[in-house]
Amino acid sequence: MLEWLKEPEINFPEQLQHAGFEHGVCVGQIQAKAGLTQSTVSEYLSILQRAGFIEATRVGQWTYYKRNEGAFEALSKLIQSNL
Amino acid sequence: MLEWLKEPEINFPEQLQHAGFEHGVCVGQIQAKAGLTQSTVSEYLSILQRAGFIEATRVGQWTYYKRNEGAFEALSKLIQSNL
DNA sequence: TTGGTATATCGGGAAAAGTCGATATATTTG
DNA sequence: CAAATATATCGACTTTTCCCGATATACCAA
């Protein structure tokens, strides 16, 4: 999912019919692509959010998630310096 | 354990009474510090070895493990480029 | 070769993570 | 407000991981 969210235009072209990608990709799109149930995907995304890797934006009845690139850089640096 | 192995002299001073650190630290030393059973520590180390993060050297009845720094750099870069 | 020490492997029980269906909450629309 | 839609949360079951004791293997010393 994290890799998918690097290129929303390529991985979630269907969303274009409803919205743009300013705030990322909505749960339903990710779920369809993942092939897991709605509850599972929703839980995954909230875990990733709590871990800081993605950010959520609620717009109406949709929740959009997008990557927080800073978290990935920080992880890479943490591995470099601490591990 | 991986962090401990960055500074064997500091984290495993007892080993000096028996051997140096050329090949790393032996399982018994790591086990004592970890506070887990011998079998658990042995299994951990062999997993880390198969994953490429540490290298094993058998000397007599002892097995010494030391870090493979290249693997950590590779992981850091993989996270930077792929994740 | 026998016994002692260090490590590895095996089998199983406990804990954690993954996944689901059912249900709850939030939002929009009529 | 009621129905429809999108997402979140809950409880239960399954799978995986963690960790142990017991045992096997390897090496050394007498």
Query: What are the tens digits of pLDDT across the range A54-63?
Result: 999 999 999 9
**Separation in Å: C6 C1' and A76 CA:** 37
Rg over CA atoms, chain A? 13
State the SS3 of chain A.
CCCHHHCHHHHCHHHHHCCCCCCCEEHHHHHHHHCCCHHHHHHHHHHHHHCCCEEEEEECCEEEEEECHHHHHHHHHHHHHHC
Q: State residue B82's pLDDT score.
A: 84
Report the candidate in A1, A14, A81 with the shortest Cα–Cα distance to residue A49.
A1
Specify the CATH number for the domain of residue B27: 1.10.10.10
Cβ of residue A55 near strand D, that is under 7 Å?
no
A83 → closest Cβ in B2, B82, B83: B2
Domain that holds residue B26: 4-82
Strand spans (E) along B1-83:
25-26, 54-59, 62-67
Q: What is the mean pLDDT of residues A27-35?
A: 97
**Separation in Å: D1 C1' and B5 CA:** 66
Asked if residue A72 has pLDDT above 90, the reply is yes
A76 → closest Cβ in B2, B3, B80: B80
**Number of structural domains, chain A?**
1
Cβ of residue B50 near strand D, that is under 7 Å?
no
Residue A20: count of CB within 10 angstroms of its CB: 11
Q: Under a CB-based contact definition with an 8 Å cutoff, are residues B5 and B65 in contact?
A: yes
Asked if residue B48 has pLDDT above 90, the reply is yes
Closest nt to A59 (CA→C1')? C27
